[in-house]
Homo-oligomer: A and B are copies of this chain.
Amino acid sequence: MNDLPQIGFDFAFKGNPLERQSEHRGDAAWFEAHRRSDVARFLLMCEGRPVIDVADGRLDILHARPLGDDLAMVVDDSVLLGFREPDASPVFAVPLARSVEDIEAAYANLKCIDTRSLAVQGVLPPGYLGLLAQASALLHWHATHRFCSRCGAPSAMTQGGYRRDCPSCGGLHFPRTDPVAIMLVTDGDRCLMGRPPRLPEGVFSTLAGFIEPGETIEEAVRREVMEEAGVHVGAVSYRASQPWPFPASLMIGCEGRAESTEIRMDETELEACRWFTRDETLAMLEERHPEGLKIPPPLSIAHWLIRSWVEAD
Q: A23-B227, A147-B148, A147-B151 are in contact. Are A243 and B213 (CB under 8 A)?
A: yes
Q: A20-B223, A212-B175 are in contact. Are A217 and B237 (CB under 8 A)?
A: no
Which chain B residue lies CB-closest to A150? B144
- Pairwise interchain contact A150-B141, C-beta atoms closer than 8 A: no
Partner among B153, B241, B269 whose Cβ is within 8 Å of the Cβ of A216: B241
CA distance A24 to B20 in the complex (A): 42
A189 in the interface, Cβ–Cβ < 8 Å?
no
Q: Which of A16, A153, A250 has the most CB of B within 10 A?
A: A250
A292 in the interface, Cβ–Cβ < 8 Å?
no
Partner among B21, B210, B216, B227 whose Cβ is within 8 Å of the Cβ of A242: B216
Expressed in whole angstroms, the minimum distance between the Cβ of A58 and any Cβ of chain B is: 23
Neighbouring B residues of A134 by C-beta, 8 Å: 212-215
Quick one: which of A2-59 are within 8 Å of B by CB? Answer: 2-3, 6, 13-16, 20-23
Expressed in whole angstroms, the minimum distance between the Cβ of A168 and any Cβ of chain B is: 10
Q: A219-B16, A255-B1, A257-B1 are in contact. Are A214 and B243 (CB under 8 A)?
A: yes
Chain copies in the assembled complex: 2
A275 in the interface, Cβ–Cβ < 8 Å?
no
Neighbouring B residues of A6 by C-beta, 8 Å: 218
Quick one: which of A210-253 are within 8 Å of B by CB? Answer: 210-219, 223, 227, 235-238, 240-243, 245, 248, 250, 252
CA distance A174 to B209 in the complex (A): 13
Neighbouring B residues of A238 by C-beta, 8 Å: 238
- Pairwise interchain contact B177-A227, C-beta atoms closer than 8 A: no
CA distance A131 to B266 in the complex (A): 25
- Pairwise interchain contact B243-A131, C-beta atoms closer than 8 A: no
Q: A152-B152, A152-B154, A238-B238 are in contact. Are A214 and B144 (CB under 8 A)?
A: no
- Pairwise interchain contact A177-B211, C-beta atoms closer than 8 A: yes
- Pairwise interchain contact B141-A175, C-beta atoms closer than 8 A: no
Neighbouring B residues of A237 by C-beta, 8 Å: 1-3
Q: A146-B150, A147-B150 are in contact. Are A215 and B179 (CB under 8 A)?
A: no
CA distance A153 to B154 in the complex (A): 11
- Pairwise interchain contact A214-B131, C-beta atoms closer than 8 A: yes
Neighbouring B residues of A21 by C-beta, 8 Å: 227
Neighbouring B residues of A255 by C-beta, 8 Å: 1
A145 in the interface, Cβ–Cβ < 8 Å?
yes
A-B CB contact pairs (8 Å), 8 listed: A1-B235, A16-B219, A21-B227, A146-B152, A175-B213, A176-B178, A216-B250, A218-B241
